[in-house]
A and B are shown apart, each in its own frame.
Chain A
Amino acid sequence: DGGITQSPKYLFRKEGQNVTLSCEQNLNHDAMYWYRQDPGQGLRLIYYSQIVNDFQKGDIAEGYSVSREKKESFPLTVTSAQKNPTAFYLCASSATGEIQYFGAGTRLSVL
């Protein structure tokens, strides 16, 4: 079953805690992306990676970090520096220059 798997589906963060959201794809795509979705604001790009061991900041990277050690995986860490982390987080992947395919998302809330 090909696709993009995000886990967990729901995540709760305590004050001052770092949390990591998982994104795995088996589509053999080179590029992967992280978006944040807030009501009325659409999707905003956090980070993206076009190749293993390389990634770039998107429009709202502050308070987030990523790594791309494997082609299949692009985890996102929401650090304690992100003061408003409550949102729906979407991971996507694509072949270079092609359509982006999205995962089911992770909903992050603050306790």
Chain B
Amino acid sequence: AQSVSQHNHHVILSEAASLELGCNYSYGGTVNLFWYVQYPGQHLQLLLKYFSGDPLVKGIKGFEAEFIKSKFSFNLRKPSVQWSDTAEYFCAVIRTGGGNKLTFGTGTQLKVEL
């Protein structure tokens, strides 16, 4: 079965620190990849996505992610975090031809301290 692993469950950073959240998936075929974010008390919303093309994708609020096919990874990065980035981050994968079923990772709770 397809699975998505997020290795960091809780991350605490100071403002202006760099961020990298790991995401690995298990499916060997063609996939579409997503990062969603859930700010406290808000809807789950899309941060960025990869369908095809340039493996380095840029999303909202200065986030980016790199798809490395050989490593089955789609790590999320931000060079300098802000207090407002405090949220839970979810990596998700759709196997193309898999009926648009999203498989989510377990999430990473990020806390940014002033």
Contacts and interface: CB of A to CB of B under 8 A. Distances in A.
Interface stretch (A15-23, A38-46, A61-69): A38-46
Contacts of B99: 48, 50, 56
Contact of B100 (A35, A43, A97, A102): A97
Interface in A4-62: 31, 33, 35, 40-45, 48, 50, 56, 58
A102 B104 contact: no
B114 to A, nearest CB: 25
B34 A99 contact: yes
Interface stretch (B12-20, B38-46, B60-68, B76-84): B38-46
A100 B43 contact: no
Q: Tell me what chain A mostly uses at the interface: helix, strand, loop, or mixed.
A: strand
B75 interface: no
Question: Chain B CB within 10 Å — which of A40, A42, A94, A102 has the most?
Answer: A42
A81 interface: no
A43 B42 CA distance: 15
A78 interface: no
A102 B90 contact: no
B69 interface: no
A82 interface: no
Interface of A: 31, 33, 35, 40-45, 48, 50, 56, 58, 90, 94, 96-97, 99-105
Interface of B: 4, 6, 9, 34, 36, 42-46, 49, 90, 92, 99-107
Given A45-B103, A48-B101, A104-B42, 5 more contacts: A31-B100, A40-B107, A42-B107, A45-B102, A105-B43
